[in-house]
Structure 1
Amino acid sequence: MSSDELLNDKWLKKLDRQSQVILDRVVFNRKTFGEVFDRNTLLLLGKLISDGVIDQVDFPISTGKEANIFRGTTPERKYVAIKIYRTATMTFKHIASYIEGDPRFMYGYKNRREMIAEWARKEYKNLALLHQAKVRAPTPLKCIQNILVMSYIGDAQKSAPLLKDVDLRTPQAVFDEIMDFIEQMYKNQVVHGDLSAFNILMFRQKPYIIDVGQAVLLEHPASAEFLKRDIHNIVQHFKKYDIQASEKKLLERFLKKKT
């Protein structure tokens, strides 16, 4: 074995040892976790652990083709949400239309992994914008390549349910607050772009906006169409509560109050 091969073999063994240490911090089914995430993602989790951002990965909150979300625990025993974008299955076509045209992301990307890391950073920045706009949403805590750590919405037993799965006690109040959120985002130069009952959490009868990776600034050429779609999706969902609202008037209201 040559010296280069020997060094490479030692490096691979070191990576294997590091990966196992990380897997030891995974509380749920380790076999499933190891099958889903590649070595690079495991090592990134290791960095988050060594940096004291998280202490362990508890259990899956949601799984999807593009990202999986887990509940994690910090060294201070607080809960966080860990969103891990899947580098093997996330498609360029889906995210390119939201990144292209956004002035914050004008420098391009060389490959799939780089583009997904850019998408994760975009969600981190968008969450920060929502907090600036005083919109209820998870607090962004840390972003490293394809992993985003944010505050956890839920209790010790389970995460908060989606709006689509909740029978609201006060639907008019929730509808009004969501519309206020859309307005506040717009006044702060950002549009969600994919808002619906599938990406709003309900916790203690209060809505929380999630999945903001695709949110765009008003400078984006499609921002007006995205705003119309957001309004439409929410109005349609609340019709089951006999709440009637004019999409046209809501749009005019937001445009009029823009600062």
Structure 2
Amino acid sequence: MRQHDHEDFDVPDERPARRRAQAARRGRLAEPTRSGRLTEGERVRLAKLREDAYTEARLLPEGTDRWSTWDDAEHGPLPRPDWVVTELAAADTDLGVLKTGKEADVHLLRRGLPDTPGTLHAAKRYRSDEHKLFHRDAGYLEGRRMRRSRENRAMAQRSAFGRNLIAEQWAVAEFAALSRLWTIGAPVPYPVQRNGTELLLEFLGDDDGTAAPRLAQVRPEPDELEDLWSQATSALELLASEGLAHGDLSAYNVLLHRGKLVVIDLPQVVDVVANPGGLEFLARDVRNLAGWFHSRGLGEHVTKTDELLADLVSAAGLG
């Protein structure tokens, strides 16, 4: 994972042209780097930046919203699926919101070259300092310390700077967890890229943009229910073998896609060894998920949650 220096982001005259074009489309053109009167040379430089930004924005393919951010992003693990669009000439089109949440919104996004159908993605965008973030983040952030005392203080005080750091830290954590779990074959969406607080993920759904339903939305037949529980326990065991717990697992963050369960929403993934509350997070994941299966008619004699939890603790190396 790449390291970031959060204090070195605002150097406008060093932005590549594509970032300047994105800033122009959002109405944030290059601004002076200091207050007071501008020299004639500085005026000329800023005027040239604005002209370049508007020019590149006008060159976007019709109907698209931005150029592909692939070249500026952290990329997902190898081997990369063949549907991932890596060409820098590709453009992105935002097709609307798939899901809204307290910490992030998920948009449907199409990325492709001009005159091609493109590929659908889920673009998860974490909110930053304009919202109060992560009302339950204190427990999850145990064991995740940043190296700089200034950053730790800002996060603890929930200043605007600290909330921005938290937003990016959660995006980094989710991208890392998805990359790690996808590599070992866990049922998670492929993480295409991370660019700041935006994650671009594999879209799970139909070609027309209809997203796969959450497990909470489906009504499985009795014979299907037991198979789904088996899939769920396999996912839990795989996470535990990596020393991890989902941390907020329920039927609302598991999708059913073409008969297969896929685990989503992993920003709060917990290292059950490093986190003092790791065992409780693991137990809560089991209780929450088993509770949904029990409500659909699957008996405790099938779920055997006590035995399952003991197996997970052992797989995590804690028992």
Corresponding residue of 1:120: 171
Aligned equivalents of 2:136, 2:217: Cα separation in 1: 25
1:1-259 equivalence runs, <5 A = 2-3=37-38, 6=43, 10=47, 17=54, 25-26=64-65, 48=69, 52=88, 55-75=92-112, 77-87=118-128, 88-91=130-133, 93-102=135-144, 105-107=145-147, 109=151, 110=154, 111=161, 112-157=163-208, 158-169=210-221, 170-218=224-272, 219-245=274-300, 246-258=304-316
Aligned equivalents of 1:74, 1:225: Cα separation in 2: 40
Deviation, structure 1 residue 94: 2.8
Conservation of the 8 A alpha-carbon contact between 2:213 and 2:256: yes
Aligned equivalents of 1:7, 1:167: Cα separation in 2: 64
Q: Runs ≥4 in structure 1, deviation > 3 angstroms?
A: 4-24, 49-54, 256-259
Conservation of the 8 A alpha-carbon contact between 1:130 and 1:137: yes
Deviation, structure 1 residue 257: 3.9
Deviation, structure 1 residue 167: 1.3
Q: Give the unaligned 5+ runs of structure 2.
A: 1-35, 73-87, 155-160
Deviation, structure 1 residue 207: 0.6
Aligned pair count reads: 239
Deviation, structure 1 residue 241: 2.5
Structure (1 or 2) with the larger CA radius of gyration: 2
Superposed CA RMSD in Å reads 3.0
Q: Percent identity?
A: 25
Deviation, structure 1 residue 240: 2.4
Q: Which amino acid aligns with 1:149?
A: L
Secondary structure of 1:101's counterpart equals: coil
Spell out, residue by residue over 1:89-145, the C-alpha distance to the aligned partner (whole angstroms, 9 max, x if none).
14254334322313xx44263422122111101000011122134211111111111
By percentage of residues, which structure has more helix? 1
Aligned equivalents of 1:15, 1:68: Cα separation in 2: 31
The normalised TM-score by structure 1 is 0.80
Secondary structure of 1:148's counterpart equals: strand
Aligned equivalents of 1:166, 1:14: Cα separation in 2: 52
Aligned equivalents of 1:14, 1:50: Cα separation in 2: 22
Q: Which amino acid aligns with 1:255?
A: V
The normalised TM-score by structure 2 is 0.66
Secondary structure of 1:143's counterpart equals: strand
